[in-house]
Chain A
Amino acid sequence: MSITLPPDIRPGRLSAQEYAHRFADATPRLTSAQAVLEAERCLYCFDAPCATACPTSIDVPSFIKRIADGNLRGSARAILEANPLGGMCARVCPTEDLCEAVCVKNTQEGKPVAIGRLQRFAVDALMESDKPQLFTRAPRTGKTVAVVGAGPAGLACAHTLARMGHDVVIFDAQPKAGGLNEYGLASYKTPDNFAQRELQWLLDIGGIEVRNGWKLETVTQLDALRQDYDALFLGMGLAATHQLGVAGSELDGVQDAVDFIATLRQTEDLSTLPVGRRVIVIGGGMTAVDAAVQSKLLGASVVHMVYRRGPDTMSASKAEQEWAQTNGVVLHHWLAPLEVVGHHGHVSAVRFAEQALVDGKLQPTGRELSWEADVVLKAIGQQLGNPVLNQAGLTLDAGRIATDAQGQTNLPGVWAGGDCRAGGLDLTVEAVEHGKQSAAAMHAHLCQA
Chain B
Amino acid sequence: MANLHTTFAGISSPNPFWLASAPPTDKAYNVNRAFEAGWGGVVWKTLGEAGPPVVNVNGPRYGALLTPDRRLMGFNNIELITDRDLEINLKEITEVKRNWPDRAMVASLMVPCEEQSWKAILARVNDTGADGVELNFGCPHGMSERGMGAAVGQVPEYIQMVTEWCKHYSKLPVIVKLTPNITDVRLPARAAKQGGADAVSLINTINSIMGVDPYTLTMSPSTGGRGSHGGYCGPAVKPIALNMVAEIARDPLTAGLPISGIGGVGNWRDALDFIALGAGNVQVCTAAMVYGFKIVQEMSDGLSNYMDEVGITSVGQIVGKATPTVTNWQHLNLNVISKAVINQNSCIQCGRCHIACEDTSHQAITATKDGKRFFEVKEDECVGCNLCAVVCPVPECISLRDLKPGEKDLRTQHVVSDKHADWTTHPNNPTRVTQAA
B352 at the interface (CB under 8 A from A): yes
Min CB–CB distance B403 → chain A (angstroms): 27
The residues of A that contact B67 with a CB separation of less than 8 Å are 40
Min CB–CB distance B220 → chain A (angstroms): 14
Q: Determine which residue in A36, A45, A46, A48 has the highest number of CB atoms from chain B within 10 A of its CB, and name it.
A: A46
- Which of B352, B373, B393 is A108 in contact with, Cβ under 8 Å? B393
The residues of A that contact B393 with a CB separation of less than 8 Å are 43, 108
Min CB–CB distance B73 → chain A (angstroms): 13
Q: A43-B352, A107-B349 are in contact. Are A68 and B68 (CB under 8 A)?
A: yes
Min CB–CB distance A196 → chain B (angstroms): 33
The residues of B that contact A39 with a CB separation of less than 8 Å are 68
Give chain B's interface secondary structure class. loop
Q: A108-B393, A108-B394 are in contact. Are A46 and B69 (CB under 8 A)?
A: no
Q: Determine which residue in B350, B354, B394 has the highest number of CB atoms from chain A within 10 A of its CB, and name it.
A: B350
A371 at the interface (CB under 8 A from B): no
Q: Is A47 a contact of B348 with CB atoms below 8 Å?
A: no
Q: Is B352 a contact of A69 with CB atoms below 8 Å?
A: no
B355 at the interface (CB under 8 A from A): yes
Q: Is A108 a contact of B348 with CB atoms below 8 Å?
A: yes
Q: Is B351 a contact of A45 with CB atoms below 8 Å?
A: yes
B2 at the interface (CB under 8 A from A): no
Q: Which residue of B lies closest to A41 (CB)?
A: B69
B187 at the interface (CB under 8 A from A): no
A37 at the interface (CB under 8 A from B): yes
The residues of B that contact A37 with a CB separation of less than 8 Å are 69
A216 at the interface (CB under 8 A from B): no
The residues of B that contact A394 with a CB separation of less than 8 Å are none
**Interfacial residues of chain B within 173-198, with CB under 8 A of chain A in the complex:** none
Q: Which residue of A lies closest to B393 (CB)?
A: A43
Min CB–CB distance A308 → chain B (angstroms): 37
Q: Which residue of A lies closest to B347 (CB)?
A: A107
A49 at the interface (CB under 8 A from B): yes
Q: Is B350 a contact of A45 with CB atoms below 8 Å?
A: yes
**Interfacial residues of chain B within 298-349, with CB under 8 A of chain A in the complex:** 348-349
A44 at the interface (CB under 8 A from B): yes
Q: Is A69 a contact of B68 with CB atoms below 8 Å?
A: yes
Q: Is B351 a contact of A36 with CB atoms below 8 Å?
A: no
A37 to B352, CA, bound (A): 20
- Which of A46, A48, A70 is B354 in contact with, Cβ under 8 Å? A46
Q: Is B348 a contact of A46 with CB atoms below 8 Å?
A: no
Q: Is B68 a contact of A36 with CB atoms below 8 Å?
A: yes
The residues of A that contact B354 with a CB separation of less than 8 Å are 46
Min CB–CB distance B352 → chain A (angstroms): 6
- Which of B349, B367, B394 is A49 in contact with, Cβ under 8 Å? B349
Min CB–CB distance A230 → chain B (angstroms): 41
- Which of A40, A46, A107 is B351 in contact with, Cβ under 8 Å? A46
A24 at the interface (CB under 8 A from B): no
Min CB–CB distance B181 → chain A (angstroms): 31
**Interfacial residues of chain A within 55-76, with CB under 8 A of chain B in the complex:** 68-70
**Interfacial residues of chain A within 73-128, with CB under 8 A of chain B in the complex:** 104-105, 107-108
Q: Is B355 a contact of A46 with CB atoms below 8 Å?
A: yes
The residues of B that contact A69 with a CB separation of less than 8 Å are 68
A44 to B393, CA, bound (A): 11
Q: Is B350 a contact of A46 with CB atoms below 8 Å?
A: yes
**Interfacial residues of chain B within 347-367, with CB under 8 A of chain A in the complex:** 348-352, 354-355, 367
Q: Which residue of A lies closest to B359 (CB)?
A: A46
The residues of B that contact A45 with a CB separation of less than 8 Å are 349-352
Min CB–CB distance B72 → chain A (angstroms): 15
Q: Determine which residue in A40, A47, A49, A105 has the highest number of CB atoms from chain B within 10 A of its CB, and name it.
A: A47
Q: Which residue of B lies closest to A46 (CB)?
A: B351
Q: Is A104 a contact of B349 with CB atoms below 8 Å?
A: yes
The residues of B that contact A47 with a CB separation of less than 8 Å are 351, 355, 367, 373
The residues of A that contact B367 with a CB separation of less than 8 Å are 46-47
Q: Which residue of A lies closest to B351 (CB)?
A: A46
A380 to B68, CA, bound (A): 47
Q: Is B350 a contact of A104 with CB atoms below 8 Å?
A: yes
A108 to B354, CA, bound (A): 18
**Interfacial residues of chain B within 80-120, with CB under 8 A of chain A in the complex:** none
Q: Is B69 a contact of A40 with CB atoms below 8 Å?
A: yes
The residues of B that contact A40 with a CB separation of less than 8 Å are 67-69
Min CB–CB distance A44 → chain B (angstroms): 7
Q: Is A107 a contact of B68 with CB atoms below 8 Å?
A: no
Min CB–CB distance B237 → chain A (angstroms): 23
Q: Mark B255-269, 1 if CB is under 8 A from A, else 0.
A: 000000000000000
**Interfacial residues of chain B within 362-419, with CB under 8 A of chain A in the complex:** 367, 373, 393-394
A47 to B351, CA, bound (A): 7
Min CB–CB distance A146 → chain B (angstroms): 42
A321 to B373, CA, bound (A): 31
The residues of B that contact A36 with a CB separation of less than 8 Å are 68-69
Min CB–CB distance A279 → chain B (angstroms): 44
A361 to B352, CA, bound (A): 47
A104 to B397, CA, bound (A): 14
Q: Which residue of B lies closest to A67 (CB)?
A: B68
The residues of B that contact A70 with a CB separation of less than 8 Å are 68
A235 to B348, CA, bound (A): 40
Min CB–CB distance A421 → chain B (angstroms): 29
A210 to B350, CA, bound (A): 44
Min CB–CB distance A72 → chain B (angstroms): 13
Q: Is A49 a contact of B373 with CB atoms below 8 Å?
A: yes
The residues of B that contact A49 with a CB separation of less than 8 Å are 349, 373
The residues of A that contact B348 with a CB separation of less than 8 Å are 104-105, 107-108
Q: Is B352 a contact of A46 with CB atoms below 8 Å?
A: yes
A104 to B347, CA, bound (A): 9
The residues of A that contact B350 with a CB separation of less than 8 Å are 43, 45-46, 104
A44 to B351, CA, bound (A): 9
A69 to B214, CA, bound (A): 13
Min CB–CB distance A68 → chain B (angstroms): 4
Min CB–CB distance A43 → chain B (angstroms): 5
The residues of B that contact A48 with a CB separation of less than 8 Å are 351
Min CB–CB distance B360 → chain A (angstroms): 12
Q: Which residue of A lies closest to B214 (CB)?
A: A70
Q: Which residue of A lies closest to B394 (CB)?
A: A108
A45 to B352, CA, bound (A): 6
Interface residues of A (CB under 8 A from B): 36-37, 39-40, 43-49, 68-70, 104-105, 107-108
Taking A48-B351, A104-B350 as given, write out 10 further A-B residue pairs in contact, using a Cβ cutoff of 8 Å, ordered by the A residue number.
A36-B69, A37-B69, A40-B69, A43-B350, A44-B352, A45-B350, A45-B352, A46-B350, A105-B348, A108-B348
Can you list 25 pairs linking A and B with CB atoms under 8 Å apart?
A: A36-B68, A39-B68, A40-B67, A43-B350, A44-B352, A45-B349, A45-B351, A45-B352, A46-B350, A46-B352, A46-B354, A46-B355, A46-B367, A47-B351, A47-B355, A47-B367, A47-B373, A48-B351, A49-B349, A68-B68, A70-B68, A104-B348, A107-B348, A107-B349, A108-B394
For the complex of A and B, the 4 pairs showing the least CB-CB separation, nearest first, are: A46-B351, A46-B355, A107-B348, A104-B348
